[in-house]
Amino acid sequence: MLEIANLHATVADKPILNGVSLSVPAGEVHAIMGPNGSGKSTLAYVLAGRPGYEVTEGAVTFTTTRHPRESGDPAEQEKLGSRLRGNDEIDLLQLDPHERAAAGLFLGFQYPVEIPGVSYLQFLRESLNSQRRARGQAELSGGEFIKLAREQAKLLGMDAEMLKRPVNVGFSGGEKKRAEMVQMGILSPRFAVLDETDSGLDIDALKAVGEGINRIMRAPDKGVLLITHYQRLLDYVEPDRVHVLQAGQIERSGGPELARELEREGYAEAAA
């Protein structure tokens, strides 16, 4: 579903990713672990298309199985443009960030951004409807959207009143991460890259977030790349594969037991 091939990237001319290759098939959750500075967040930003994160080599192919935009109507297909059409392989790096989102990619931010003056409801409604327009789907009405938002907030154990507040302003670290998962629930992406979604969470929040990831993203046609430092989130979200990123490359890959080994022995030991 997501194929990363020999990906090299620089930030401010400094090479950070030095040939990352990784394949996440549909229906799987892959974890990426690695020491500080190994390039985990850079990988997440490159996948989402953050400006300033320059890809110098390599490719990322995103294949959405049975994409909702595939209506079968040729006129409809024509409107979408070749880069966003149906079941094809998408060259992710050719798309702008908002087009990647419309194609079904979601980035859970390590540090969710505050936007004063814009309520969460307005932010997410405009985001979702803009994605739906890009996919040729009907927009949700105000009522439909509020119902969806309330439902998702409730499932994540977040007070729906918080969605009336400006985006992330005055939210605690844990509330921001929970809100990221509410966003994911509302936007319902095909593929989620979650950058240290577990950091800053207390035990209850960790459990809620873990359950949220399973509920929203565990499906035969979805995939997850879970970036984390710790085993604890993986107790709730069992990964199919674990990869160790070091110095901008995948050093090792293995099953879920690799995460436990890393937790026990540390990165230096495990890499040796």
Residues that bind other proteins (CB under 8 A): 48-51, 96-98, 100-102, 106-107, 109, 112-118, 122-124, 126-128, 130-131, 134, 166, 183, 187
Q: At 91, which helix (H) or strand (E)?
A: strand 89-91
Cα separation values, 169 from 71, 156, 159, 173, 188, Å:
39, 19, 15, 11, 23
Q: How far apart are CA 187 and CA 216, in angstroms?
A: 10
Q: Which is nearer to other proteins, 79 or 98 (CB)?
A: 98
The nearer residue to other proteins, 21 or 127, going by C-beta atoms, is 127
Tokens 């154990």 identify what position?
A: 157
* Residue among 18 and 129 whose Cβ is closer to other proteins: 129
Q: Which is nearer to other proteins, 114 or 202 (CB)?
A: 114
- Cite the DSSP H helix spans in 109-251: 120-134, 142-155, 173-187, 203-217, 232-236
Taking only Cα atoms into account, the Rg of the chain, rounded to an integer number of angstroms, comes to: 18
State the Cα torsion 106-107-111-114 to the nearest 10°.
Answer: -40
Q: What would the two tokens of residue 94 be?
A: 């050719």
Q: Residues 74, 86: contact at Cβ < 8 Å?
A: no
- Residues 215, 148: Cα–Cα separation, whole Å: 15
Residue pair 114/62 in contact (Cβ under 8 Å)? The answer is no
Nearer to other proteins, 115 or 271 (CB): 115
**CB nearer to other proteins: pick between 134 and 162:** 134
Q: Which one, 48 or 270, has the nearer CB to other proteins? A: 48
CB of 1 to other proteins, least distance (A): 19
Would you list the DSSP string of 98-139?
HHHHHHTEEEE-SSPPPEEEEEHHHHHHHHHHHHHHHTTPPP
Q: How far is the CB of 104 from other proteins (least distance, A)?
A: 10
Nearer Cβ to other proteins, position 105 or 206? Answer: 105
